[in-house]
Amino acid sequence: MKRFAIIGLGRFGQKLAIALAMSGAEVIAIDRNRDQIELIRDQVSHAVRLDSTDEEALKAQGIDKVDVAIIGIGQGTGRGFEASVLTVLNLRQMGVKQIYARAEDLIAGEVFSKVGATEVIYPEIESAQRWAYKLIAPQIGEKIDFTPGYSLARIKAPASFEGKTVMDLQLRQKYNVNLVLIKRGEHSKSKKSEKSKIINVPMPNTIIYEDDILMVAGSDIDLAKLPQE
């Protein structure tokens, strides 16, 4: 079981710590504020009040032995940003291999990377980007990002796809996306025996029905061009 240290229990850190703990992970939650510790104490493996800029205090709690450390300290003030930087340095010095640092802007993220963070998290920026994409392309359900700008996405077949074959739709030629998998919809007009069936190798003559679930891969720009109706 992986051991996680969540340092900084603002909204981001607190929600992340609870989510990890609910998934069965061992979570050590750390904050300088006693009230924050009391709020989360019963929901994680261990919660402790300490200053993460104190390397010896971190070692005393076994933070040097965790698999992953996530720094979620608020950076609304200069002190918060300074504390985050010093915490990254401490964790790197202690030999923690995976260090994630929450940054409020790209400049802060660049600093964290330079002082030793293995990855930078931009909750506000990433949330805004997800919502922008959701508003622009509401037909796209869940998506998994492969590399920046390219994803595997889940869409519900629109009415315009009803009764057409994969060849008829020409998704690759028209939209530059690849159809990877089809799950028959519960309310589609497919045969009863095919309800919820997975077709993991769609053939050119495979018929698509409205409400089928399609897994498609391509660039985010091309995926957003898929029809909504």
- Please give the full DSSP string across 128-150, using - where no structure is assigned: HHHHHHHHH-TTEEEEEEEETTE
CA pair distance 105, 75, nearest whole angstrom: 10
Beta 3-7 vs 150-156: how paired, if at all? Answer: unpaired
CATH number of 3-126: 3.40.50.720
Q: Note whether 96 and 117 are within 8 A (CB).
A: no
Residue 139: the pLDDT is 78
CATH topology for the 137-223 domain:
Alpha-Beta Plaits (3.30.70)
Name the residue with higher pLDDT: 228 or 44. Answer: 44
Residue 72: the pLDDT is 93
Render pLDDT for 156-201 as a digit per residue (tens, 0 to 9): 899 999 999 999 999 999 999 999 999 988 765 656 556 668 998 8
> Taken in order 173, 177, 180, 184, is the CA torsion positive or negative?
negative
CA pair distance 37, 16, nearest whole angstrom: 14
Hey, where are the domains in the chain? 3-126, 137-223
pTM of the model: 0.67
Q: Note whether 40 and 29 are within 8 A (CB).
A: yes
Render pLDDT for 42-66 as a digit per residue (tens, 0 to 9): 999 999 999 999 999 999 999 999 9
